[in-house]
Structure 1
Amino acid sequence: MAEIRKIIFIKNAVETLGYFSEQIARELERNGYETCFIDYERMYESMDVMLHFLDREETALVTFNFIGLRGEAVFQAESGRSIWQEENLPVLNILVDHPLYYHSCLKEAGERMRVFCVDREHVGYVRRFYPGVKVEFLPLAGNELLFSHGDGEHGTHRADVPEPVLYGQRTFDLVFAANYVSMEMLEEKVKALDDDYRIFYRRITEDLIADPAQSVDAVMERHIRNELGAVPEEQLCAAMSGMIWIDLFVRSYFREKVVQTLADAGIIVRVFGADWEKIHCKKPQNVRTSGGKVNSAACVQAMRDARIALNVMPWFKDGAHDRVFTAMLQGTAALTDDSRYLREECRDGENICFYSLRALQQLPDQVVSLLEDPVRMAELAERGYRMAEKRHRWKNRAGLLMQALRDIDK
């Protein structure tokens, strides 16, 4: 087999995932790879470019969340197979959500696909329920502010990123870059269920809220087995994949609860994302919105201008969200709930600040204490920057992907 030197990416299907892809592509280009982007906003034009770029023996697809692999018509050949199957291309597929969202796709994953999960528990889940799938751990990395200086023939070339803004010159005390999901909207979905299902779902969400250290699939499994007894693995996996509402609910519940807790305690939270004007709290004037959805570059820019960047983990119990490392790379103090992986990588009070979902009543005092000691916070932010710059850039993750490309067909 020829060596893989040409990589196809996809952008503008999901903005954040395209932003990740551009940073990975930049690093691959620096290491001698050629890259090409399929652009969902210029689909047929970019598809034509991609087909001329593609060399069967030397090309691989790098994508996220099965984008381009779900039977989309534009990627189907006349034979009914995907163009990736027709060309027998290797695929590196990074899942930034729990694998239970991709049950049907994982069942159909081909031999030339390698899956990467951003949480080590997710890796274990794939190995348990989809033993034929090759899967590895690839933690999310921090985003950097990218400035375009023109598009190349096959990829987007980017200039080096600027240094962080001096800590003492920051505009915002506390920012949170995330969208708001209305709990009422999620409640409407469960109201449509039969009574038995609604009660069953409520028990699971109450269990997770009472002890948020638990992983969502472990709690699902426990309740399913309590209800049904010994369930075959295939049936158990299919049942959990039909319960993604629970994951969405508990993630959104704590995202709302954290911001409510801070705002109601009198702390201004500058939020960058959609729909935060819909949040219910006693002091909504303390939730300062960006006016709507913002892109990844705007989120990075917001963190560059903040003293503290808040994170609420999307129920990753052994992984990390990109918000954590993005904050660090901007020289901003990262304030987040923890995970086993983050506890291994970071040191609380030294280069990161952890809070507990079990003790949110303590969070406002924790924020006030941090803001009242700007010298200590600036030093913590600097140590976080040094650690993330060394270990948690997309440059680091690209190195793992390059190794996977070299290992294809071994």
Structure 2
Amino acid sequence: MKVILIKNAVETLGYFSEQLAETFQEMGHDTYFVDYDDLVNTVDGISRFAVPEKTVLCTFNFIGLSGEEVFIEENGRYIWENQGIACINILVDHPLYYHSKLAKPPVPEMRVFCIDREHVAYMKRFYPALPVEFLPLAGNCILERKVPSPIEGCHGQKQKHKNIPYQKRKYDIVFTGNYTPVEHLYREIDRQGAEYRTFYYEILEDMKAHPAVSIDRMLEAHIRKELGAVPDEELRAAIAGMVFIDICMRSYFRGEIIKCLAEHKIPVHVFGANWEKLDCSSHDYIIKNGREVDSVTCAEAIADARISLNVMPWFKDGTHDRVFTAMLQHTLSLTDDSGYLRENFTDKKELVFYSLEKREELPELVKKLLEKPEKCMEIAERGYESAVREHTWKQRAEAILMDLVK
């Protein structure tokens, strides 16, 4: 098999692609990167690399399938279709973000993977013509960095990551991710008319009160309450038109969890931008790096922590890569739960769960964990054993290839 991947379009997704590429190569497959920093040359190289019917594009979130002119040839079709290249499209966000592309697929044969089983069900209901499978995210290993070397010039030598002994780690608890002030998001809602504003705020308050409910189920309930029986085709378009609700709730709970710890005088090291904009009375306990960070820096921060905090981006039957990345760094993963995580892990065995509904209990939970480093280390080691066995990009690459040969 020959596999085409994409990098330097979205940093995180490029990092996932690099991890997949290493695995594909280890399995004996040829890989090729389309580089958004060198698009013209690397797109030109596709025809020299690809072999019709033996090549697959493995992309995320429709990158390379979003109408980019560089991928469309003179006959108006994508290079993938003209070259006989199969397309694997992994959606790491809810399908509601991609309604227009899913309703009119950009290439005739596109296979979709979703990272949450409720997303799969949503796809099967609203886009039944598209083949879709569940593929959970995987943990990120720390890919080797290049460090400057006076002997080797600017390229330098590869620096290998070594596991930091648990007792010698720099941080008690870290969170990796940016913050978007919810006030900015609410202002967008306030620009709507009074009727829409009331409707949207009712949904937001309902979601705050019931954080275990998936966004599409919550939106459908409110749309049907407002409009009655709505055909599925209209319903999916209406749900897609409220994507900002998902963004609001992600930001709201991310901020609430960090604020909850800080206001109980528990220091949290946050790696990401805009945390100074969080409305919090105890900013001294939010130790900021003050900028966006790349995936390697996130993984390195997690590797130097005793506890890695995760706040799920509204995945109710899947998981975020932060969970497995923590496990692969021998770090205790502290996360809100999901159906998928509850099915695959036991609380305080391979990880530790907390509740969004009962987030007032989180500070005491963290204090007890930090008081028992030996217990935390045991949980972290069991998490590592589970993740390295079942939740690396190697297992995900194998699942992708198995799906292709069905």
TM-score range, shorter chain: over 0.9
The C-alpha deviation readout for 1:50-104, integer Å capped at 9, x for no partner, is 2321222321100000011011011110111211122232101000000000001
SS of the residue corresponding to residue 94 of structure 1 reads strand
How far off is 1:192 after superposition? 1.4
Could you say which residue in structure 2 is the equivalent of 1:190?
189
The C-alpha deviation readout for 1:205-242, integer Å capped at 9, x for no partner, is 11110010101100100111111111001000000000
1:298 and 2:294 correspond: no
SS of the residue corresponding to residue 173 of structure 1 reads strand
Aligned-partner residue type, residue 201 of structure 1: Y
SS of the residue corresponding to residue 240 of structure 1 reads helix
Check 1:232–1:9 CA distance in 2 against 1; reply closer, same or farther (3 A cut).
Answer: same
The C-alpha deviation readout for 1:181-214, integer Å capped at 9, x for no partner, is 1112111211111111111111111111001010
Could you say which residue in structure 1 is the equivalent of 2:90?
94
Q: Bigger shift: 357-366 or 53-62?
A: 53-62
Q: Bigger shift: 77-86 or 42-51?
A: 42-51
Instruction: Find the aligned partners of 2:376 and 2:73 in 1 and give their Cα distance.
Output: 56
Aligned-partner residue type, residue 347 of structure 2: D
For the Cα contact (< 8 Å) 1:146–1:159, is it kept in 2? Answer: no
Q: Which runs of 4+ in 1 moved over 6 A?
A: 158-161
For the Cα contact (< 8 Å) 1:215–1:317, is it kept in 2? Answer: yes
Aligned-partner residue type, residue 63 of structure 1: T
Instruction: Find the aligned partners of 2:312 and 2:383 in 1 and give their Cα distance.
Output: 18
How far off is 1:278 after superposition? 1.3
Could you say which residue in structure 1 is the equivalent of 2:78?
82
TM-score scaled by length of structure 1 = 0.94
Could you say which residue in structure 1 is the equivalent of 2:374?
375
For the Cα contact (< 8 Å) 2:55–2:84, is it kept in 1? Answer: no
Instruction: Find the aligned partners of 1:221 and 1:54 in 2 and give their Cα distance.
Output: 43
1:128 and 2:125 correspond: yes
- Report 1:230-309 matches (<5 A): 230-309=229-308
1:208 and 2:176 correspond: no
The C-alpha deviation readout for 1:128-181, integer Å capped at 9, x for no partner, is 00010000000000001001579xxxxxxx989645211111000000001111
How far off is 1:341 after superposition? 0.3
Q: Bigger shift: 296-305 or 278-287?
A: 278-287
Equivalent pairs: percent with the same residue? 51
- Report 1:7-406 matches (<5 A): 7-109=3-105, 110-147=107-144, 162-406=161-405
The C-alpha deviation readout for 1:115-136, integer Å capped at 9, x for no partner, is 0000000000000000100000
Check 1:350–1:339 CA distance in 2 against 1; reply closer, same or farther (3 A cut).
Answer: same
Aligned-partner residue type, residue 120 of structure 1: R
Structure 2: any 5+ residue segments left out of the alignment?
148-156
Instruction: Find the aligned partners of 1:404 and 1:349 in 2 and give their Cα distance.
Output: 34
For the Cα contact (< 8 Å) 1:142–1:392, is it kept in 2? Answer: yes
Instruction: Find the aligned partners of 2:379 and 2:325 in 1 and give their Cα distance.
Output: 15
Aligned-partner residue type, residue 376 of structure 1: K
Aligned-partner residue type, residue 119 of structure 1: D
TM-score scaled by length of structure 2 = 0.95
For the Cα contact (< 8 Å) 1:8–1:35, is it kept in 2? Answer: yes
For the Cα contact (< 8 Å) 1:144–1:161, is it kept in 2? Answer: no
For the Cα contact (< 8 Å) 1:56–1:88, is it kept in 2? Answer: yes
